[in-house]
């Protein structure tokens, strides 16, 4: 719970910080994954708390990309589709992602964007539940999820019924046999609040509906277990916590039991049972490959594969433990040092994903002023200062440092500086 009372003054800010800094040091020294940040490249001195938007560059990726370009493309040319395994990369890299979301091999493919994969899943799910017209979805979901659902609803004649995660069980009970699909994100992209994937999936199944999970902010941050939860479909980004790089392709999960029935709307030739038969009739592959569409972005796929290689010896449970420890200390530091900015989500790290947000009427100025101090978070409209921890790269000392910088920004009114008034295109 957030203590009531006035903000610390200029003088007792650092005093309140001393025990936090001491504990951060202890936690960093005892941390089982303390070697992990050393596998990534970040500019010296920067406190990067935006790995939930664009993950840091893994040290092995520049060489892997150079190899893909100079050897595989320049020398191997078209033969590399076979000799370098380009053709099978979507499934191979999919399995590597699957390991981090509790998906046994053969249920995940990588390619296209999360937006495209969401559209594929909305329509495919509707087709798997003919006679049911209702999709239950969070009205506060990430906008692309809502935009694509709205278009899928027009295409497939669906009714979108809004329900925030805590309202879902009641809505499912009320609409019961009409519900085709429950579509939710595990982690709220704004507040960081996490919901119970297994319980909500079970609630959807109870009324005969399918469950689609958007794990954009989960993979690499939570220990979500799709197989154990009985999830039907899931999608997620790879450029966030997985550090796949800007524009890295997304992934889609189809539970093994649905792979012969799933009927995605984008029936490109890579999803065909025999693409090089050059058959004019569409015969879908009989496994998760039917979620493939067209030629994938191979250079990005190979960069992502190298990024995932950084985590070969790390489990999702280990990443989750590190993330929870970092998030817990960040919440504590914010609560102690900047009590005047309320948390947007819960304070319990068990109920959060990999980021924490606080509300401020001057959020944009605060985020810019923090950046001027070398602390990178991000602004989310209308009033959120969002600070992400990356289980891969963030140190406990960083999260206390960020809270201290926020205290200093507010104390010196730096967020009201005229230079921070203009909003950039990407926030």
Instruction: Write out the residues near ligand PLP by the rule CB under 6 A.
Output: 113-115, 142, 144-145, 185, 189, 214, 216-217, 237, 250
Q: Smallest distance from the beta carbon of 378 to ligand PLP, in angstroms?
A: 11
Q: Which residue, 208 or 294, is less far from ligand PLP as judged by CB? A: 294
Q: Smallest distance from the beta carbon of 415 to ligand PLP, in angstroms?
A: 25
What element of type H or E holds 93?
A: helix 89-98
- Ramachandran quadrant class, 160 (left: phi over 0; alpha: psi -120 to 50; beta: rest): beta
Please name which of 378, 398, 399 lies closest in space to residue 328, comparing C-alpha atoms: 399
Q: Which residue, 37 or 55, is less far from ligand PLP as judged by CB? A: 55
Q: Which residue, 251 or 404, is less far from ligand PLP as judged by CB? A: 251
The β-bridge partners of 343 are 358
Q: Which residue, 114 or 201, is less far from ligand PLP as judged by CB? A: 114
Q: Which residue, 13 or 296, is less far from ligand PLP as judged by CB? A: 296
Q: Smallest distance from the beta carbon of 115 to ligand PLP, in angstroms?
A: 3
Q: Please state, in angstroms and rounded to a whole number, the distance separating the CA atoms of residues 225 and 203.
A: 16
Strands 384-388 and 378-380, by their bridges, are: antiparallel
Q: Are 125 and 258 in contact (CB under 8 A)?
A: no
Q: Smallest distance from the beta carbon of 248 to ligand PLP, in angstroms?
A: 9
70, 141, 216, 256, 374 from 146: Cα distances, Å: 41, 7, 14, 27, 34
Task: Please give the structure tokens belonging to residue 383.
Answer: 């009033």
Task: Please give the structure tokens belonging to residue 294.
Answer: 């067209």
Q: Which residue, 86 or 213, is less far from ligand PLP as judged by CB? A: 213
Q: Are 175 and 213 in contact (CB under 8 A)?
A: no
Q: Which residue, 249 or 401, is less far from ligand PLP as judged by CB? A: 249
Q: Please state, in angstroms and rounded to a whole number, the distance separating the CA atoms of residues 76 and 219.
A: 33
Q: Annotated catalytic sites, by residue?
A: 142, 214, 239-240, 386
DSSP-derived letter for residue 149 is H
Neighbours of 313 (CB within 10 A): 8
What element of type H or E holds 28?
A: helix 12-30
Q: Smallest distance from the beta carbon of 43 to ligand PLP, in angstroms?
A: 23
Give, to the nearest 10 degrees, the angle between helix 12-30 and helix 396-411. 160
Q: Are 358 and 408 in contact (CB under 8 A)?
A: no
What are residue 376's phi and psi, to 5 degrees?
A: -100, 115
Q: Smallest distance from the beta carbon of 112 to ligand PLP, in angstroms?
A: 8
Q: Please state, in angstroms and rounded to a whole number, the distance separating the CA atoms of residues 20 and 215.
A: 31
Q: Smallest distance from the beta carbon of 141 to ligand PLP, in angstroms?
A: 7
């Amino acid at each position: 719970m957030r203590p009531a009372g006035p903000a610390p003054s200029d003088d007792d800010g650092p005093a309140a910080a001393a025990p936090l800094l001491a504990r951060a040091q202890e936690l960093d020294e005892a941390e089982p994954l303390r070697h992990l940040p050393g596998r990534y490249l970040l500019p010296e001195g920067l406190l990067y708390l935006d790995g939930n938007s664009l993950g840091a560059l893994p040290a092995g990726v520049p060489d892997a990309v150079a190899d893909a370009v100079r050897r595989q493309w320049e020398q191997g040319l078209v033969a590399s589709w076979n000799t370098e395994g380009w053709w099978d990369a979507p499934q191979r890299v999919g399995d590597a992602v699957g390991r981090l979301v509790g998906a046994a091999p053969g249920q995940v493919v990588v390619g296209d964007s999360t937006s495209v994969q969401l559209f594929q899943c909305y329509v495919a799910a509707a087709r798997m539940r003919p006679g049911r017209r209702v999709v239950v979805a969070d009205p506060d979901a990430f906008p692309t999820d809502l935009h694509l659902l709205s278009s899928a609803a027009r295409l497939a004649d669906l009714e979108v019924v809004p329900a925030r995660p805590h309202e879902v069980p009641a809505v499912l009970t009320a609409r019961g046999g009409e519900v085709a699909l429950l579509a939710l994100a595990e982690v709220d992209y704004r507040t960081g609040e996490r919901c119970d994937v297994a319980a909500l999936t079970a609630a959807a199944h109870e009324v005969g509906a399918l469950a689609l999970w958007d794990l954009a902010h989960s993979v690499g941050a939570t220990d979500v277990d799709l197989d154990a939860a009985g999830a039907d479909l899931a999608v997620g980004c790879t450029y966030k916590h997985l550090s796949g790089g800007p524009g890295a392709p997304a992934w889609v999960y189809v539970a093994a039991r649905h792979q012969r029935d799933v009927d995605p709307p984008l029936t490109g030739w890579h999803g065909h049972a025999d693409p090089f038969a050059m058959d004019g009739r569409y015969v879908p592959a009989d496994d998760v490959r039917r979620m493939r569409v067209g030629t994938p972005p191979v250079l990005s796929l190979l960069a992502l594969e190298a990024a995932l290689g950084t985590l070969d010896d790390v489990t999702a449970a280990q990443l989750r433990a590190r993330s929870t420890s970092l998030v817990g200390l960040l919440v504590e530091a914010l609560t102690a040092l900047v009590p005047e900015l309320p948390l947007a989500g819960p304070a319990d790290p068990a109920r959060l994903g990999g980021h924490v947000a606080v509300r401020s009427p001057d959020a944009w100025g605060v985020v810019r002023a923090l950046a001027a101090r070398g602390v990178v978070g991000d602004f989310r409209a209308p009033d959120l200062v969002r600070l992400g921890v990356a289980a891969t790269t963030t140190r406990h000392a960083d999260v206390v440092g960020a809270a201290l910088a926020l205290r200093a920004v507010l104390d010196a009114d730096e967020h009201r500086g005229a230079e921070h008034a203009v909003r950039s295109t990407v926030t």
